[in-house]
Amino acid sequence: MLVPNFRMKLNELINALAEQADRLLEGARSRVEARLALGRIVEKNAQLSTGEREAVIDGVMSVLEDACFFTEERWSRSPFRSDTPVSH
């Protein structure tokens, strides 16, 4: 299982998922696909409420955006593009 301790704080879960993003999001070709993949992973953790799951997904996406994870240089075969510009 991805997260051995289900009582982990949300920030720790966010960081754990972000650290494994290369593996977890392999094959994702857009931010939307990345979000969906994260949703499937987080959904498996039944001890999180819907709001907590959304907070984790949003948190991971934010960490990845800040780390420039979704750049064409990094993903030359599958560029991450969004229909709307990302604002910070």
- Domain extent, residue 64, equals 1-82
Tens digit of each residue's pLDDT (9 = 90 or more) over 11-29: 999 999 999 999 999 888 8
Secondary structure of residue 29 in the 3-state scheme: coil
Q: CA–CA separation, 33 vs 73, rounded Å?
A: 18
Q: Is residue 13 part of a domain?
A: yes
Number of domains in the chain: 1
Q: Is residue 42 part of a domain?
A: yes
Give this prediction's pTM. 0.73
Q: Is residue 88 part of a domain?
A: no
Q: Tokens 């953790």 appear where?
A: 45
Q: Is residue 8 part of a domain?
A: yes
3-state SS track over 43-71: HCCCCCCHHHHHHHHHHHHHHHHHCCCCC
Residues in the chain: 88
User: Please, what is the Cα angle at 37 between 61 and 15, to 5 degrees?
Assistant: 40
Higher pLDDT, 39 or 78: 39
